[in-house]
Amino acid sequence: MSNVIVIGCGRVGSQLANMLSDNGSNVCVIDRSADAFANLGRNFNGSTIQGVGFDEDVLVRAGVEECDVLAAVTQFDNANLMCAEVASRLYDVPHVIARLYNPDHERAYMQLGIDYVCGTSLVAEDVFSKIVSGHGAHIETFGEFEVLRFSLDLSWRENQKTIRVSEMERDHEVRIVAFERADGSASSIPTSDSVLYNGDTVLACVHHDLIGAFSKYIQD
């Protein structure tokens, strides 16, 4: 059982909270409006707290210090960003996910290392998939494979800040689908000879069983 905090109890937050609760998670929902908790319905099995999601006292009451995942899914990008930053920076919550309305803010979220779901439809399902998968880079599941999007971490390679696509694919049995330079200067579908740099954004397809070994390439 995982401990999950959901911030925002509108259509998305209430749907997500019920999905997680039905899946066996211990869920606490935060919303500034007590009336919003009516969206959860009578069968919701978790707890609720009225308050602002980036208020430290509210988060502590919600159990942030023992929290495994926090999902900020209010209707306001700035509020979601603040919730995500407080949870990750102050309380070291292992997995923080923020809802993103304005795609113009996407690069800022990526540069801050914040996992997010962008869009207005099927958001609850997307966040639920990320939580259940157990890693922040998750985009989609295809049978035994995961599609991951992440910032490339090569800091563990002594004095080597680049790596060829062929080396990553050979050593970890993955397929690098696409990449974008860290500064946004170029993006490409790679060949085996393409060179990746520390901090590049990478789209990869990885077998479930290999994600543990491959995770060293994924920036936290």
pLDDT single digits (tens) 26-79:
999 999 999 999 999 988 999 999 999 999 999 999 999 999 999 999 989 889
Greater confidence, 50 or 129? 50
Mind listing the pLDDT tens digit for each residue in 1-36?
589 999 999 988 998 999 899 888 899 999 999 999
Decide the pairing of beta strands 69-72 and 3-7.
parallel
Whether 187 has a pLDDT exceeding 90, the answer reads no
* Ranges assigned E (strand) in the chain: 3-7, 26-31, 47-50, 69-72, 95-100, 115-118, 138-142, 145-151, 162-164, 175-180, 187-188, 195-197, 201-207
- The verdict on pTM exceeding 0.75 is no
Say yes or no to pLDDT of 214 above 70. Answer: yes
Q: Are 12 and 73 spatial neighbours (Cβ–Cβ below 8 Å)?
A: yes
Mean pLDDT over each residue of the chain, to the nearest integer: 85
pLDDT at residue 111 greater than cutoff 60: yes
Supply the pLDDT for residue 176.
Answer: 93
CB contact at 8 A, 34 and 9: no
Distance CA 175, CA 177 (A): 6
pLDDT at 143: 65
| Cα–Cα distance, 213 to 86 (Å, whole number) | 29
